[in-house]
Amino acid sequence: MRQIFSVTLKTLVIALGLSLVNPSFAADPAAAPAGPAKADVAKGEALYNAGDAKRGLAACMGCHGPNGVSGGGTYPKLAGQHAAYTVKQLKDYKAGKDRPNAIMGAFAGMMTEEDMINVAAYLEKQTPGLGTAKNKASIELGQKIYRGGIASKQVPACAACHAPNGAGIPSQYPRLSGQWAEYTEAQLVAYRQGERKNSVQMTGIASRMSDAEIKAVSDYIAGLR
């Protein structure tokens, strides 16, 4: 009887020891939380250029142009944008609360997180589209705001977060350089009016800017590279 008890106790101790040294011995690996999906650039390229007819998902290229360079300010240039930022925007569109948009809400609503990650990775690898500042009368004001902010209104320099050349900071702040002035202006106005609410920081900044200041800095940003 003692021998049986001794063997049983020994077996139990060994089992417990294994579970402590190697948690996978005691836990079901399937129960472990899955990490973020790894981007598949090829799938992202295919979805961007051709969409997915089975799901009724149209090609992104139709509005945002070949390689992520759109043809006008109605739709933003996406080429070279940081992947993390693009994924966040798609998720916000899908949620519909802080960045409501009928068109993008419908598109994002049909996309899985994997789709978003793949498309964002493809776009990040594309060459950013160049732009130009067109309004000579406001270029000095735009440059002043972008580089130094507006101290009297507590508006910080755009360059502090988006970099002196508008390249942004990966995973934190988006690339702005070369973006259509009309699009940048529309987004700043949307922040100011509370129509776009997915950045508390940008809502606060835009709320303290006049139409002329927004227009000037948007035009200046278009010429950054």
Query: If you ran DSSP here, which 8-state letter would residue 155 be given?
Result: B
Residue whose C-alpha is closest to residue 111's, from 88, 90, 85: 90
Write b or e for each residue in 19-51: b if 16 or more Cβ atoms lie within 10 A of its Cβ, otherwise e. Answer: eeeeeeeeeeeeeeeeeeeebbeebbbbbbeeb
Query: If you ran DSSP here, which 8-state letter would residue 166 be given?
Result: S
Place of tokens 């798609």: 90
Residues facing residue 173 across a β-bridge? 169
Q: Is 82 assigned to a binding site?
A: no
CB 44, CB 118: distance < 8 Å: yes
Q: Is 158 assigned to a binding site?
A: yes
Q: Which residues contact 60 (CB under 8 A, 6 or more apart)?
A: 47, 48, 49, 51, 78, 107, 119
Q: Is 61 assigned to a binding site?
A: no
Residues facing residue 155 across a β-bridge? 150
Distance CA 221, CA 219 (A): 5
Distance CA 65, CA 36 (A): 28
Q: Is 111 assigned to a binding site?
A: no
Q: Is 1 assigned to a binding site?
A: no
Residue ranges of the binding site? 60, 63-64, 104, 158, 161-162, 202
Known binding residues for heme c are 60, 63-64, 104, 158, 161-162, 202
